Structure formats: structure tokens, C-alpha cells
């Protein structure tokens, strides 16, 4: 894997908003057929990094490369056109629209000609159902079904299948298993592995270490906008990763601090008013 050119790479990327520095010297790379897990607690800078990769923000410094060549994304549509698809929680789907409509929103197939063109519902439904079933959602048989009736895991799968159908080469998955039950989360993780098997590069953003360890090949821990650790699968344990995400302050450290405090302040406990 290491001898291949990364499909997507960040080199020394900073992102500032006026005097506020949010990202600091971010250098990451992801290869085809690889899952890069980006781990970090709330406020670590994950959202800003996603928006920078997906064309919402431009880097203040540093560069983004695709296939070894520097690129500049002028907009999210520009990033999508280059094969970067971002899937947020529940896939950005529309609950009151059908599966077929959701699958092709913004790129609807039509039939007829000239001013008589209309949405080709049959083609949309058949294509959508086939695509999602290929990703393991076997109970979906009707493209007219409303997306609001799907589980969270199924909605994520629909969004991923849609991205692959429209030529995504890099999938950025923003907390795809958050707020999902065990069974639904397991289904999404299987979808991630399926995307990897198909040769896609996946950036899996999460704060759930066990989910990351299930699918990840490469890991980066983000703390206060900087990469605190960058390692491969098997190089760190779950406990070590959790400690890193906590900024190196382990439970043992916290217990020692509490014990020290109690010893120092013994007999000086403030009284309630």
C-alpha cells in the first residue's frame, strides 16, 4: 500500500478564521482500498477538516493533492466533481422523498423530449434498489418507499451507494455510526468494508474507538486541531488510543490527581453554606 500514490493527501494544512487558528500542520494521506480513521473528541477540529477536504473551506496554508497533483477546490461541487463524496449522519437524505428520488436528487433521469421531459421514476427506482441491494440492504424492494421509513443504517447505506454510483473515489464518512444501535452500526461497518473492497478510499471520522478498530487500516488522532498520533492497524491498543484521544490524560492520571488533591487538602474540605 505504501508504494502507491495516495488518492488524497493533505500536506501541512493550516486553517485559520481571522486570528483563530483551527487546524495546525495537518498532514494525512489515504490510498485506494484503505480506511483512514480520523479520531477525536468534540472540539478536536474534525468538522473543519472535513469542510476543508470537501471544498467548503480553502486551506489558509499548505496544500491538498489528488493522485499526487495539487488541487484547489473552489466549492463542494468542485470537490464532488473530482470524486470526493461526504456523507454526514443519516446521509443527508430527505425523509419525505422516495428512495428513487433520494438516490438521484439533483441528477434525475428523465424520459420524453424537449418541454415534455418528465422524471423517469421507473429507471430511478430500479437503479436505486439495485445499487443499495448490492451493498447488502436486501429488504428494500420498492424504490417508491419513503426514506423516512428506513433505519439509520439503511439511510447511511443508501447515501454511500449513491456516492459510489456517481463515481466517488474518496468517501468521507462523518460519524456514520453515531446515534445508531448495535445492529445498525454493525451494518454500516459492513458497508464501509464493502466500499474498501471496491477500491474506494474511505475517511472514517468518529470518536468511537471500537468502531474505528473494526474497519480501520490507518489511524490519526486529532487533538485541538493537530495530529497528535498517526499509526497503522495493530500498532496501538484500544486503551492507548483512548488515552491519546483524552490528550494523554489517562484514568490512572486522573485518579492520581484526585488522590493528590485529597492528600493535600485533607481536613480542609469546604463546608456547604
The CATH number given to 8-95+162-236 is: 3.40.50.300
Reduced to 3 states (helix: H, G, I; strand: E, B; else coil), residue 69 is: strand
Grid cell listed for 141: 424492494
Nearest residue to 126 via CA among 137, 141, 138, 136? 141
Q: What are residue 77's phi and psi, to 5 degrees?
A: -65, -35
| Cβ neighbours for 239, distance < 8 A, ≥ 6 positions apart | none
Q: Burial of 266 by CB count in 10 Å (0-12 exposed, 13-18 middle, 19+ buried)?
A: exposed
| Residue 147 CA from chain centroid, whole number | 21
Reduced to 3 states (helix: H, G, I; strand: E, B; else coil), residue 21 is: strand
Query: pTM of this prediction?
Result: 0.83
> Are the beta carbons of 99 and 147 closer than 8 angstroms?
yes
How far, in Å, CA of 133 to CA of 140, rounded?
7
> Where are the chain's structural domains?
8-95+162-236, 237-273
Identify the DSSP state of 148.
G
**In tens digits, what is the pLDDT along the chain, a chain of 273 residues?**
445 889 999 999 999 988 888 999 999 999 999 999 999 887 788 889 999 999 999 999 999 999 999 999 999 999 999 999 998 876 678 889 999 999 998 888 888 887 888 989 999 999 999 988 887 776 778 889 998 888 887 888 888 888 888 889 999 999 888 878 888 888 889 889 989 998 999 999 998 899 999 999 999 999 889 999 999 999 998 988 888 887 744 434 434 554 565 566 555 444 433
Please give the biggest Cα pair distance in the chain. Answer: 87
Amino acid at each position: 500500500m505504501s508504494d502507491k500514490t495516495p488518492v488524497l493527501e493533505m500536506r501541512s494544512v493550516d486553517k485559520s478564521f481571522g486570528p483563530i487558528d483551527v487546524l495546525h500542520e495537518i498532514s494525512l494521506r489515504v490510498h485506494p482500498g484503505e480506511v483512514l480513521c480520523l479520531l477525536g473528541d468534540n472540539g478536536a477540529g474534525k468538522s473543519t477538516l472535513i469542510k476543508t477536504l470537501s471544498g467548503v473551506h480553502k486551506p489558509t496554508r499548505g496544500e491538498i493533492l489528488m493522485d499526487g497533483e495539487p488541487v484547489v477546490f473552489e466549492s463542494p461541487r468542485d470537490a464532488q466533481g473530482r470524486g470526493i463524496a461526504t456523507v454526514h449522519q443519516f446521509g443527508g437524505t430527505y425523509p419525505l422523498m422516495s428512495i428513487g428520488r433520494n438516490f438521484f436528487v439533483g441528477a434525475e433521469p428523465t424520459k420524453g423530449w424537449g418541454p415534455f421531459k418528465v422524471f423517469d421514476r421507473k429507471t430511478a427506482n430500479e437503479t436505486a434498489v439495485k445499487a443499495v441491494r448490492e451493498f447488502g440492504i436486501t429488504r428494500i424492494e420498492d424504490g417508491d418507499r419513503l426514506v423516512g421509513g428506513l433505519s439509520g443504517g439503511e439511510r447511511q447505506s443508501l447515501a454511500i451507494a449513491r456516492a459510489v454510483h456517481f463515481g466517488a473515489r474518496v468517501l468521507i464518512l462523518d460519524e456514520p455510526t453515531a446515534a445508531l444501535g448495535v445492529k445498525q452500526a454493525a451494518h454500516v461497518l459492513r458497508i464501509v468494508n464493502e466500499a474498501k473492497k471496491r477500491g474506494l478510499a474511505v475517511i472514517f471520522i468518529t470518536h468511537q474507538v471500537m468502531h474505528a478498530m473494526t474497519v480501520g487500516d490507518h489511524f490519526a488522532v486529532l487533538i485541538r486541531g493537530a495530529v497528535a498520533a498517526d499509526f497503522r492497524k495493530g500498532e496501538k491498543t484500544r486503551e492507548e488510543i483512548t488515552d491519546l484521544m483524552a490528550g494523554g490524560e489517562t484514568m490512572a492520571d486522573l485518579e492520581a490527581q484526585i488522590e493528590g488533591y485529597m492528600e493535600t487538602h485533607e481536613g480542609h474540605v469546604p463546608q456547604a453554606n
